[in-house]
Structure formats: C-alpha cells, structure tokens
Amino acid sequence: MPMLRPMKKPTLVIFDCDGVLVDTETIAGAMFSEYVRATGYSASHEECLVTFRGRSMKSAIEIVEADIGRTLPADWGERIEEDVQAIFRRSVDAIPHVYHVTKAIEATGIDRCVASSSVLEHIENSVEKIGLADHFSGNLFSATMVEKGKPAPDLFLHAAREMGHAPQVSVVIEDSLPGVQAGVAAGMRVFGYVGDEITDGRALAEAGATVFDDMRKLPTLMGL
C-alpha cells in the first residue's frame, strides 16, 4: 500500500470492536450467515459476510425482512446474540499488533473508547478477554444506545459527545464499510483496517477511509 502522510494528533480515538480489537468477525460472520440463509434470504454465504459485516442487529433484520417479505420472529436476533456470546465468553483473540496501538495511545494520554454494533455484554467481554478493560476505563458504547446503527453516524456522534470531544478532533478505527460510512457521516477522520481477505480495502477507501493493513502503521498515520 502507498505511504500515507500522518495527520495532526487527534484528541479522541474511537475503536470498533469486532475485527479491529478482537478477531471475531470470521466466527460471528459465519454463524450469522447460517441464521440469515435459513430464513430464505437470497444471498450466498460470501455475500452475507460482506453485506452484514459491521451492521447493528436492527439494521440487519430490516435488510433480511425486506428481502424475504415477512417479519422475523421477535426473538430471532436475541437467539443469534446468545449463540455468539456463548462462543466468545470462552475465548477471543486480539487483532495482531493491536497492543502496539493501545500503548502508543496510552503514552500520549489521548482519550479512547469503543463504539460497536455489538451488544454491550459482548463489548465488555471482548475487551476483558484481551486485557484492555483498563485501557478503555468503561468507555464502551453499543449501537443499542442510539436510534440508528451504522452506517448512520448516531453511534459515533453519541460516543464523542459522551467523551466530551468534537467530531473534527475525533478519529475512528473501522474495518467494515457501514462503519466507515458512519464515521465519515459523523465528520470524523476514519482509518480502515484491512486485515483479512473478506475486507474490501478499495470500498473502504472509496467511502473515505485512510486504509492500512498493519496495526503497527496506525500510530504514525494518526500523528502519534
């Protein structure tokens, strides 16, 4: 990837969770794809992985219902969340070199938080399992806290407001197209992490993200 010029140092760094802090996208995506295709949703497994990555459960349900032409059971999303949480309560792995980024942020004293489409329980479990609970000091935000999830900007704006920072001095670390779109819509600088073969780096760049493929590059890109 081309060399990128560093930016002016931000005052708030907002991390997505799955695929940015913890390596859960493959397992969770596969499970969600199975549930979705069982409804009669007209897409392949690979298409499901791309379509629903980074979306809130509410947004995903709206897409599925529009496609299949009927309303899903009221507890459909809850059943998926329970199955996913059962897996990740046992173990999750950190994204390679993410501690390089968190140490750099700690050294500067910049505020940081997590803003994810996942439920709060999953976010809490994830940061605890990889040893970053203290790093974020309870500053965890879920799409369940706002009316509209990604790609709407609501979650990132809510997180920045709660943390006491303006959008223009906040940066977002994302790995999904809806997440990048949400960050750009919020008026924030967005960095798009391309860490696997599923992530479409070109789409993230076209949506407005500064794309990178190694967490060790991120501190310099952020001006730290």
Domain-embedded: residue 156: yes
| Backbone CA torsion sign across 22, 27, 30, 36 | negative
pLDDT at 97 over 70: yes
145 and 53 belong to one structural domain: no
pLDDT at 25 over 70: no
pLDDT at 2 over 60: no
66 and 106 belong to one structural domain: no
Q: H/E element holding 190?
A: strand 189-193
Q: Please name which of 207, 201, 191 lies closest in space to residue 151, comparing C-alpha atoms.
A: 207
The pair of structure tokens assigned to 180 is: 């990048």
Question: What pLDDT shows up at residue 4?
Answer: 47
Question: What pLDDT shows up at residue 52?
Answer: 84
pLDDT band at 31 (very low <50, low <70, confident <90, very high): confident
Provide the residue type at 186 as one letter.
Answer: A
Percent of the chain with pLDDT over 70: 95
pLDDT at 5 over 70: no
Domain-embedded: residue 100: yes
Question: What pLDDT shows up at residue 116?
Answer: 96
Instruction: Please tell me whether residue 42 adopts helix, strand or coil conformation.
Output: coil
129 and 54 belong to one structural domain: no
Domain-embedded: residue 213: yes
Domain-embedded: residue 3: no
Of 49 and 135, the one with more pLDDT: 135
137 and 40 belong to one structural domain: no
pLDDT, the chain, mean: 90
106 and 61 belong to one structural domain: no
pLDDT band at 7 (very low <50, low <70, confident <90, very high): low
CATH number at residue 124: 3.40.50.1000
pLDDT at 85 over 80: no
pLDDT at 1 over 60: no
pLDDT tens-place string over residues 64-75: 999 999 999 999
Residue range of the domain that includes 152: 12-23+91-221
Provide the number of structural domains found in the chain. 2
Of 114 and 91, the one with more pLDDT: 114
Question: What pLDDT shows up at residue 87?
Answer: 74
- Which of the listed residues 88, 112, 130 is the one where a domain comes to its end? 88
Percent helix, strand, coil in the chain, to 5, is 50, 15, 40
Residue with tokens 């529009």: 66
Instruction: List CB contacts of 160: < 8 A, sequence separation 6 or more.
Output: 12, 14, 166, 167, 170, 186, 188
63 and 148 belong to one structural domain: no
Question: What pLDDT shows up at residue 127?
Answer: 95
Domain-embedded: residue 16: yes
- Which of the listed residues 40, 57, 88 is the one where a domain comes to its end? 88
112 and 201 belong to one structural domain: yes
120 and 203 belong to one structural domain: yes
110 and 153 belong to one structural domain: yes
Domain-embedded: residue 6: no
Bridge partners, 22 (sequence order): 18, 94
pLDDT at 129 over 60: yes
pLDDT at 30 over 50: yes
pLDDT tens-place string over residues 186-221: 999 999 999 887 788 999 999 999 999 999 999 999
121 and 198 belong to one structural domain: yes
- Which of the listed residues 56, 73, 88 is the one where a domain comes to its end? 88
Domain-embedded: residue 5: no
Question: What pLDDT shows up at residue 39?
Answer: 93
Q: What is the pTM of this model?
A: 0.79
Domain-embedded: residue 194: yes
114 and 176 belong to one structural domain: yes
